[in-house]
Amino acid sequence: MAASVRAISGVGGKGPACFLVEADGLRLLLDCGAGPDEGMRPDLSGLGRIDAILLSHAHPDHVDALPEAVERFGPLPVHATPPVLEALPRDLAVDRRPLALGRNTLPGGLVVTCGRSGHAPGGVWLHLAIGAGLFYAGDMGFDSVVFAVDRSPPSARLAILDASYGDDDTRHEDRLAAFAPVFAAKRSLLLAPAGGRGPEIALAAAMAHEQRPAVCDANRDMIDRLIADPAWLRPGAASMLESLRRRIDPIESFEPPPQRPIIAAKPNATGGAAKPLLEGWGAADGPVVATGYIAAGTPARRAVEEGRAIALRWPVHPRLSQNAELSRAVGAEIVIPAFGDARHRDVWAKAFAPARIAPADLANPDTVEI
């Protein structure tokens, strides 16, 4: 089966995920996100017919352009795992079709294999049995103590990897060790999303110095949901989260904030409990930490630029060596490094060899044959 892939967005820098796949008359989109910076959206014009959309997980930069896709292409079939389908807006006019872990056969006979991606509730990597095989990592993590990752995808000639961290190969242990003084502070504010690293940061904070962190409602609700649906968790993680649930408290006051580690969404302080907490946070209140990508134009970005907050990455994407190992594991001959800055191309080319980097110009992606 002849097949090709084109990045509509998501290659050359940190941008929304959207990849067009064509195979034997089928035309599919892998993810359809917006952001993370304000105004970043995939250009869906001129794509022609789209038959279906496959989603890797429910984070905004992978799903938030779905309303535009519906407006342009009609009420398409959207294939995703049940937690991802449930996370989509209820009024989104799409035909929701659940994907199971393992082998799925879509209408038209396309075989799609799903494995847990270690990044988010319901998050999966996708393998499409087209051409000589296509592997799409979506967002992927190998080091979470909460989320499980399935490490043995089928072989694929083309691998679209999560290169969000560029050439960074800092050890997981070293990243986590940097948070020790934050957890030890009398009071600290950690900005973290509920649908990802938030519960894991709360777990780490509770284990440090035998504290009772204050955790926002969104993150506490997510902990409950993960306990209720442990299929996405590592062995033993559900028990750890059950213990955590007994060791955290709600955020009872924004002014003054409680004297303990505070874990609050949204991660860029654009809403949720994080917004009023950051707005009222004083210089003497303790460290404020943006724990992931800091989107341009957001309160978190302004706080970092003004010196009122620090950027300290809680690792949720693959390191360079992990991506290189994954590329070899699937037997990739071609690698598309997604979500990372094009300036790392030479490092990627060396790390992923003998696979070659595609497209030829990461700043202006063209079609890649599988």
CATH class of 172-311: alpha beta
Q: Where are the beta strands (DSSP E) in 201-298?
A: 214-215, 261-264, 288-290
Q: What is the pLDDT along the chain (370 residues), one digit of tens a residue?
A: 679 999 999 999 999 999 999 998 999 999 999 999 999 999 999 999 999 999 999 999 999 999 999 999 999 999 999 999 999 999 999 999 999 999 999 988 999 999 999 999 999 999 999 999 999 999 999 999 999 999 999 999 999 999 999 999 999 999 999 999 999 999 999 999 999 999 999 999 999 987 899 999 999 999 999 999 999 999 999 999 999 999 999 999 888 899 999 999 999 999 999 999 999 999 899 999 999 999 999 999 999 999 999 999 999 999 999 999 999 999 999 999 999 999 999 999 999 999 999 998 888 888 999 9
Domain borders along the chain are 3-168+316-369, 172-311
Question: Model-level pTM?
Answer: 0.97
Query: Which candidate, 249, 299, 294, places its Cα nearest to that of 274?
Result: 299
**% helix, strand, coil for the chain, step of 5:** 30, 25, 50
Of 216, 222, 364, 329, give the one whose Cα is nearest residue 276: 216
Q: What CATH superfamily classification does 3-168+316-369 receive?
A: Ribonuclease Z/Hydroxyacylglutathione hydrolase-like (3.60.15.10)
d(CA 265, CA 268) in angstroms, rounded, equals: 8
